[in-house]
């Protein structure tokens, strides 16, 4: 009979193991439990130096969907641009419609071009015609060639019904 392992123990093992099969097993076990401690654990992994662990955390938080939404949304306020990009990636990929709504709202206050470009990409893919005025406003706000390009592409996608 297998003894149930605590979240802390599982995360420690997840970080230490180099065995991909073992990592997958722990990952599945963590996803099955999916309580607040586990969500916090995955959020901590977003700051880890090992990119494979960061990617695993992104994948997990997307899978956890609505359960992870409140904590992931808070990451949009991180001072670290990369963490805000991860948050936009997770929220943009979530099935929960609050994910897209959160990044849409965040667009109004975000000042970093790279974060904005990711949100624009998600709105182009999963947004709707009502997002066009917001997207258009970014051209004037940023006056930046890459944002101009991203906005044009997103609007084109929305108009062609590519979302």
Partner 1 sequence: MKKILALDDSTTMLQSIKLSLLRKGHQVSTFTKGSEALAMLGKEKFDLIITDLNMPEMDGITFIQKVRALSNYKFTPILVLTTESQAAKKEQARKAGATAWITKPFTPEQLLMVVEKIAR
Cβ proximity to partner 1: between 85 and 100 the closer is: 85
Both structure tokens of 56: 């695993």
Residue 81: CB minimum distance to partner 1, A: 5
Q: Which residues contact 113 (CB under 8 A, 6 or more apart)?
A: 142, 144, 146, 147
Smallest gap from Cβ 153 to partner 1, in A, equals 6
Q: How far is the CB of 86 from partner 1 (least distance, A)?
A: 8
Half-sphere exposure of 70 (CA within 13 A, CB side): 5
Residues that bind partner 1 (CB under 8 A): 51-52, 54-55, 58-59, 80-82, 85-86, 89, 113-114, 117-118, 120-121, 124, 144-147, 149-150, 153-154
Strands (E), 27-158: none
CA distance 63 to 57: 10
Q: What is the DSSP string of 92-105?
A: HH-SSHHHHHHHHH
Indicate the residue among 39 and 147 with the shorter CB distance to partner 1. Answer: 147
Q: Do the beta carbons of residue 110 and residue 79 sit within 8 Å?
A: no
CB of 80 to partner 1, least distance (A): 6
Residue closer to partner 1 (CB basis): 19 or 82: 82
Rg (CA), the chain: 18
């Amino acid at each position: 009979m297998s003894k149930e392992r605590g979240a802390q123990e599982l995360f420690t093992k997840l970080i230490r193991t180099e065995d991909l099969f073992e990592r997958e097993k722990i990952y599945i076990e963590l996803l099955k439990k999916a309580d607040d401690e586990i969500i916090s654990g995955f959020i901590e992994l977003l700051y880890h130096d090992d990119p494979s662990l960061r990617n695993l955390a992104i994948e997990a938080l997307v899978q956890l969907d609505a359960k992870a939404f409140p904590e992931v949304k808070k990451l949009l306020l991180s001072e670290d641009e990369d963490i805000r990009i991860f948050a936009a990636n997770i929220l943009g990929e979530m099935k929960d419609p609050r994910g897209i709504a959160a990044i849409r709202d965040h667009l109004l206050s975000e000042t970093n071009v790279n974060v904005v470009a990711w949100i624009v990409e998600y709105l182009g893919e999963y947004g709707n015609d009502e997002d066009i005025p917001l997207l258009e406003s970014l051209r004037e706000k940023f006056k930046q060639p890459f944002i101009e390009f991203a906005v044009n592409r997103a609007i084109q996608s929305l108009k062609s019904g590519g979302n």
